[in-house]
Amino acid sequence: MEDVISFLKEHGNLKIIDEPLDVELEIPHIAYLEVKKKDSRPILFTKPVYRAKNIEYDTPVLMNIFANKDITRKIFGKEPDDIGNSIESLMKFKPPKGLMEKIKMLPTLISLKNVFPKRSKAKGECQEVVLQGSDIDLDKLPILKTWEEDGGRFITMGQVYTQSLDGNMQNVGMYRLQQLDNNKLAMHWQIHKDASNFFDQYAKAGKKMPVSIGIGGDPLYIWCGQAPMPHGMFEMLLYGFIRNKNARLVKSITNDIYVPNDVDFVIEGFVDPTNFAPEGPFGDHTGYYTLVEEFPVMEVTAITHKKNPVFAATVVGKPPLEDKYFGWATERIFLPLLKPLAPDLIDYNMPENGVFHNLILAKMHHKYPGHAKQFMHAFWGVGQMSFVKHAIFVKDDAPELEDFDALTKYILNRVSKENIFISEGVVDHLDHSSPKQFVGGKLGVDATGEEQEKSVEVLKDSELLAKMQELEPAIKALKSYYHESANPITVIAVEKEKSMQEVIKKLEPLAKHIAILVIVDTFNNDLENPYMLIWRVVNNIDANRDVVLEPFIAIDGTNKNELDGFNREWPKDANCTKEVLYNLQQRGLIDIDEQFIRDFGLINYKLY
């Protein structure tokens, strides 16, 4: 991985675009569309420009590094499941007995010496060029503006290196960083992140916090930055374990933070605990804009880089995107760390259209009544799993967790009102649906029971829609799924003029025809697109408010407002800019049709 471009040319079918393209909207739009394709590829943009300031960059922009499962495997150098199995073996490690056992254990013990990072006081490759003082200018970096309503340009693949106040703990995280001016960045580290905990230590001590941001280098650094390591463990240990070689770190020029020798750029500086600035909006991985909020400001004291650097970036927004493959690798590698907390766990899956924390599917050895609920509490009570909003549990006889169609049928044949558990707990910083930030409803579904008999009389969609519209004219469209299951799903699109709780009550006379009702807005929802409907609903619901169990199971996936007693601001969808799409299409840089636009909800639309 010393030459990432050569590696991607040889192993990743790297796509190279030599036409000048704007870092604002154009480059991100192309990368966003590419990674949604079944045969998606990494892309190198060789001639980025910043038209608003008339800047032409010599530094190319590399995107979609983790473009698919195959290239992700090649970046890791092995199957993520094999890495997970190695971790599991270490967790079961027992001191060897006898000479032969010790000899057999030698390769493992020798490899473990490569886990620990090596620190050097010599200058690194990342410090071949050093910019300080008046030479510092963030405009000279091809930082991207992804979405039209973003608050500015954001570094989206920065490896943020920090350490505790006493220097005993190190961390690398991947947080977005908004450029505020030529030498300042807003640090969007969320309250539950290690870097934020370190920041609190510096704030209490009244000291500025040193921070260094790495960009580029071995792509495994990027993945390590978002890996959910246990608190206090430096992610570079995981790098050494996977690569079977020590991460080589060098000291920053203007602070005491150590960074990988071979990253392309390092942005060094300090965060003043008394200096905050508005950050955002930003179209985030939820597919929505996160709203403006105060975050700490980092003042840049140096920018260093290789002589011929490459600027790595990613696009976040509506799924599927590059984080799908981050998430897949993370899921496989960290499965062994979950098993000690839930020993009868077989496997789990966090679908990307469930936005990871919003939906988890788990398979377990079910042994006694209440076992699945025990798992729910275990998941909701530990580490980053505590941010999961919706969890569905199935037995060991269920289909594979990635066989979504077969798994859905399995779940619908076993779900019941009695086996739905609603609780409350911590939710992700980016969650927008809960009435209060950071705290919201949790939904657990125990689908480990026996198959049930169908309890509803299924009608044709047109017939059921007509009956519903007699009771509530605001219902504009209807689509049913899985008619043959014990609990068919009926999805309706509503022109929202009242609380959906009122609509659910109005539909009570049709209870014998409805098992599970899902409600969405007419705007920006296609009832023929279950992939994006799941994305919409798990984003938009707070289980305490939006899941109703009588007269049938009903889920209100509409955007919330004062009609629902919702007093927070509801964010907009992060959508592409029509004019940019049209311009790129005219220039032959993208090739998409209306169906592609609808499949992935690229622009605002109203079908009903």
Establish if 600 belongs to a structural domain: no
DSSP per residue over 589-605, as a string?
A: S----HHHHHHTT-S--
Question: Is 93's pLDDT higher than 80?
Answer: no
Going 457 to 460 to 461 to 466, the CA torsion angle's sign is negative
Assess contact for 543 and 441: CB atoms under 8 A: yes
Kindly report, residue by residue over 575-592, the tens digit of the pLDDT.
999 999 999 999 999 999
Question: Is 477's pLDDT higher than 60?
Answer: yes
If asked whether residues 177 and 139 sit together in one domain, one would say: yes
- Distance between CA 580 and CA 22 in Å, rounded? 11
Backbone φ/ψ region at 206: left (φ over 0), alpha (ψ -120 to 50), beta: left
Locate tokens 């919409």: which residue?
Answer: 536
- Average pLDDT of the chain is 92
DSSP 3-state of 154: strand
- Distance between CA 414 and CA 307 in Å, rounded? 60
pTM: 0.92
If asked whether residues 49 and 135 sit together in one domain, one would say: yes
Residue type, 342: A
Domain boundary (447, 478, 508) is at 447
Strand locations in 15-164 (E): 15-17, 21-22, 43-45, 48-50, 55-56, 61-63, 118-120, 129-131, 154-155, 159-163
In this prediction, residue 106 carries a pLDDT of 55
If asked whether residues 358 and 303 sit together in one domain, one would say: no
In this prediction, residue 100 carries a pLDDT of 59
Tell the burial category of 563 from Cβ atoms under 10 Å away from its Cβ (0-12, 13-18, 19+).
middle
If asked whether residues 493 and 363 sit together in one domain, one would say: no
If asked whether residues 149 and 200 sit together in one domain, one would say: yes
> What are 224's strand-pairing partners?
none
337 or 317: whose pLDDT is higher?
317
87 or 444: whose pLDDT is higher?
444
Q: Count of CB atoms within 10 A of residue 320's CB? A: 18
If asked whether residues 557 and 439 sit together in one domain, one would say: no
Establish if 210 belongs to a structural domain: yes
Question: Is 101's pLDDT higher than 90?
Answer: no
Domain boundary (564, 580, 599) is at 564
Dig out the tokens for 241 from the structure. 């374990």
Assess contact for 240 and 255: CB atoms under 8 A: no
In this prediction, residue 197 carries a pLDDT of 87
Locate tokens 């059921």: which residue?
Answer: 464
In this prediction, residue 338 carries a pLDDT of 82
Kindly report, residue by residue over 116-151, the tens digit of the pLDDT.
889 998 999 999 999 999 999 999 999 999 999 999
Instruction: Give the CA radius of gyration of the chain.
Output: 25
Average pLDDT over residues 32-42: 95
- Distance between CA 381 and CA 221 in Å, rounded? 28
Question: Is 99's pLDDT higher than 70?
Answer: no
Dig out the tokens for 352 from the structure. 């990307």
Q: What's the CATH code of the domain at 555? A: 3.40.1670.10
Establish if 419 belongs to a structural domain: yes
- Cα 160–chain centre separation: 17
Q: Using alpha carbons, select from 410, 393, 411 the residue that is nearest to residue 347.
A: 393
Establish if 467 belongs to a structural domain: yes
175 or 195: whose pLDDT is higher?
175
The pair phi, psi for residue 267, each rounded to 5°, is: -110, 115
- Distance between CA 382 and CA 159 in Å, rounded? 25
Establish if 589 belongs to a structural domain: no
Question: Is 1's pLDDT higher than 70?
Answer: no
Establish if 331 belongs to a structural domain: no
The pair phi, psi for residue 587, each rounded to 5°, is: -90, 0
If asked whether residues 35 and 92 sit together in one domain, one would say: yes
Average pLDDT over residues 445-458: 93
In this prediction, residue 196 carries a pLDDT of 83
Dig out the tokens for 76 from the structure. 């890791």
Helix (H) or strand (E) holding 521: strand 516-521
Domain boundary (418, 447, 476) is at 447
Confidence of residue 472 (pLDDT cuts 50, 70, 90): very high
Kindly report, residue by residue over 45-63, the tens digit of the pLDDT.
999 999 999 999 999 999 9
Q: Count of CB atoms within 10 A of residue 416's CB? A: 17
Average pLDDT over residues 401-423: 95
If asked whether residues 390 and 484 sit together in one domain, one would say: no
Dig out the tokens for 229 from the structure. 């390591």
If asked whether residues 441 and 407 sit together in one domain, one would say: yes
Q: Count of CB atoms within 10 A of residue 374's CB? A: 15
Kindly report, residue by residue over 283-299, the tens digit of the pLDDT.
999 999 999 999 999 99
In this prediction, residue 96 carries a pLDDT of 59
The tally of domains found in the chain comes to: 3
In this prediction, residue 571 carries a pLDDT of 96
Q: What's the CATH code of the domain at 40? A: 2.30.110.10
- Distance between CA 352 and CA 405 in Å, rounded? 15
Question: Is 108's pLDDT higher than 60?
Answer: no
**Helix residue spans in 127-252 (DSSP H):** 194-205, 219-226, 235-243
In this prediction, residue 14 carries a pLDDT of 95
If asked whether residues 382 and 489 sit together in one domain, one would say: no
Establish if 38 belongs to a structural domain: yes
If asked whether residues 215 and 114 sit together in one domain, one would say: yes
Residue type, 217: G
Residues in the chain: 608
Domain housing 390: 338-447
Kindly report, residue by residue over 323-371, the tens digit of the pLDDT.
999 899 999 998 888 888 888 999 999 999 998 889 999 999 999 999 9
In this prediction, residue 97 carries a pLDDT of 66
Average pLDDT over residues 449-476: 95
If asked whether residues 234 and 94 sit together in one domain, one would say: yes
Bond preceding residue 351 cis, omega within 30 of 0? no
Average pLDDT over residues 579-608: 93
519 or 378: whose pLDDT is higher?
519
- Distance between CA 150 and CA 281 in Å, rounded? 5
In this prediction, residue 104 carries a pLDDT of 57
Establish if 34 belongs to a structural domain: yes
